[in-house]
Amino acid sequence: MPPPSKVALLFIDGVGVGNRDASVNPLVEAEAMVSQFADGTGTVLPRGGRRHDVDTTFGVPGRPQSASNQTAIFTGLPAPQLIGEHVLGYPTRPLARLLADSSIVKTLLAHERTVTFANAYPIGYLDALGLERRPGTLGAFEMPDKFKRRLKPSASTLAFSAGRVALRTLDDAVAGNGLTHDIDGAAGSKRKFPVPRRTPEEAAAIFWSLAEDFTLFEHYLADEAGHAQDRLAALEALTTFDRFAREVVRLMPDDAQVLICSDHGNVEDLSTRSHTTNPVAVLSFGDRQASLQTVADVGTQIVSWLGRP
């Protein structure tokens, strides 16, 4: 089978495969595509979608964390094994080196594939981190040095920076060339950023309008709700993401692939503020079969599908 025309990765932070227990698991009530459960049941997926439950621990003691597992996804490498620990939050120097050397974005560009990150950021944030960006003026601010020193880039932004890909700004979001992290623009509006309000379905149409050979969208509000043990925030985040993801899948070109994945469990068990050791369900849509055992295999699968043109 020829390689897909495009591969889209919708990343949602902190959603694992937990028990079908409505008292602690908001995924039961949400009935989202990512509502997949440890007993093998779950929401039926559209367009022949397939579920792959994958490991998040890599055999390393402790709870899986965002920095190390996102590095695994965006490099295709077993990052927690390679550095010998799980790392929370933002990549440390060893993880940043892995991303700089082995980012799948860098690999795809070397294979003459085009890539893009759909998320848009305030330029003050990007400039404080020293990340390459597209032109813009919205969200400009001068961050005090004491805060700037504490600021760290995410694994996703480092993955794209490794390929010297300019990140999108809020100007792109306003112009319909980028998406806010919350999809509908509600969070940005509350913070007085001049971003447009959109339905998740409108955001999905924008997603495909800017798509390249490989396109990433990142959503982390479900993980924040899990840490806060906030059921209402979890349901809002999951419902908005699900509407967006369903429309992305519905609009998917016949020769494209869509993957929906997370990095570790969290929101599926609101009895704790901590991440879980549960597997995560990678959802695959399209004609091509995926071979996935750990979250790192998401990255290797994308590179394998796209390969050289």
Q: Stretch 286-295: mean pLDDT, rounded?
A: 96
Q: Stretch 38-47: mean pLDDT, rounded?
A: 98
| pLDDT surpassing 60 at residue 309 | no
Q: Which residues contact 167 (CB under 8 A, 6 or more apart)?
A: 117, 119, 121, 126, 131, 132, 133, 134, 157, 160, 161
User: From CA 153, how far away is CA 155, in angstroms rounded?
Assistant: 7
Q: Stretch 107-124: mean pLDDT, rounded?
A: 96
Dihedral class, residue 143 (left if φ above 0, else alpha if ψ from -120 to 50, else beta): beta
User: From CA 123, how far away is CA 134, in angstroms rounded?
Assistant: 9
Per-residue confidence band for 54, with pLDDT thresholds at 50, 70 and 90? very high
pLDDT of residue 141: 74
Q: Stretch 217-224: mean pLDDT, rounded?
A: 98
| pLDDT surpassing 90 at residue 192 | no
pLDDT of residue 10: 99
pLDDT of residue 144: 73
pLDDT of residue 63: 98
pLDDT of residue 308: 59
280: three-class secondary structure by DSSP: strand
7-281: in CATH 1.10.8: no
- Lowest-pLDDT range of 38-42, 60-64, 133-137, 242-246: 133-137
Per-residue confidence band for 228, with pLDDT thresholds at 50, 70 and 90? very high
- Give the residue, 140 or 235, on which the prediction is more confident: 235
- Lowest-pLDDT range of 188-192, 216-220, 279-283: 188-192
| pLDDT surpassing 60 at residue 142 | yes
The DSSP H or E segment spanning 53 is: strand 50-54
Angle 32-198-123 from CA coordinates, rounded to 5°? 105
Q: What is the DSSP string of 95-135?
A: HHHHHHHH-HHHHHHHTT--EEE-BEE-HHHHHHHT--B-S
Q: Which residues contact 16 (CB under 8 A, 6 or more apart)?
A: 56, 262, 264, 265, 266, 267, 268, 269, 276, 278, 279, 280
| pLDDT surpassing 60 at residue 301 | yes
Q: What token pair was written down for 146?
A: 């004491």
Q: Stretch 179-194: mean pLDDT, rounded?
A: 86
- How many residues in the chain? 309
Q: Stretch 238-257: mean pLDDT, rounded?
A: 98
- Lowest-pLDDT range of 8-12, 97-101, 191-195: 191-195
